[in-house]
Amino acid sequence: MTRPRLEVAEVIRNCRDTFLQRYGAGLTSEQRRALDDLTACRTAALGGHVLGCLECGHQEVSYNSCGNRHCPKCQATAAARWLETQSADLLDTPYFHVVFTLPSALGPVAQHNPRIMYGLLMRAAAKTLLEVAANPEHLGAEVGVLAVLHTWGQNLTLHPHVHCVVTGGGLAPDASRWVAGRNDFFLPVRVLSRVFRGKFLSGLRAAFQRERLRFHGRLKALARPERFHHLLNTTPLTSV
């Protein structure tokens, strides 16, 4: 891997004080922690270790990594390792990429209820793919799905979406054979959208009914059932 010309850690070190003066008070403890970790990653601040060769006496000093999940240095290695593990499981079949997106109107609710909302989003996406693919009108088989949650878009704004990598074929219902799909077409997007919407909204309504959602600050009004249901009814939820 080539070394980038400018590292995030350098930007942070250069602008840290000015940034903290202006925005420090509004940072969450997690954001503060990320800032500290990224500043210290692979510097003397985190300590280090020396690797030595017993034969020739050659020594190499390397500083410890922060391991923070927001650290580009640490995550580049983690991402490469993850890719390697996943590739080992790939089947000899075409794969399709399907993205399910949380409507932006529900973003703030998700920020206050990440565990419930993101769990719901992942499950609704996976169940939608399995159900539509199992329908004999479409593929009539059990597909394999790998789903990854992204909560931020590339422009660093909140944009929760699930990337699904799906096998373009699947196991027959009696598991006796592989049902191959078409190479150029997977499942109708319109149907995926509709099924996903149904599953996600009914899960969200159930969570609300069981009082599992929390509404703080400017979201307080949504704790009232009529306001919450109005939000759901007026939210377009068609993006796949």
Site residues for Zn ion per CB under 5 A:
41, 65-66, 71, 73-74, 150
Identity of the residue, 149 or 171, whose beta carbon is nearer to Zn ion in the bound complex: 149
Identity of the residue, 155 or 176, whose beta carbon is nearer to Zn ion in the bound complex: 155
Query: Closest separation between CB of residue 215 and Zn ion, Å?
Result: 27
Query: Closest separation between CB of residue 136 and Zn ion, Å?
Result: 32
Instruction: Say whether 169 sits in a helix, a strand or coil.
Output: strand
Query: Closest separation between CB of residue 210 and Zn ion, Å?
Result: 30
What span, in angstroms and rounded, lies between the C-alpha atoms of 88 and 207? 37
What span, in angstroms and rounded, lies between the C-alpha atoms of 161 and 165? 13
Query: Closest separation between CB of residue 176 and Zn ion, Å?
Result: 36
Identity of the residue, 71 or 120, whose beta carbon is nearer to Zn ion in the bound complex: 71
Identity of the residue, 21 or 154, whose beta carbon is nearer to Zn ion in the bound complex: 154
Q: CA 213, 218, 220: angle at the middle one, nearest 5?
A: 45
Q: Which residue is it, tokens 């590339």? A: 154
165, two tokens: 């990598």
Backbone φ and ψ for 223, nearest 5 degrees, come out as: -65, -20
Q: Are 159 and 150 in contact, with CB atoms under 8 Å apart?
A: yes
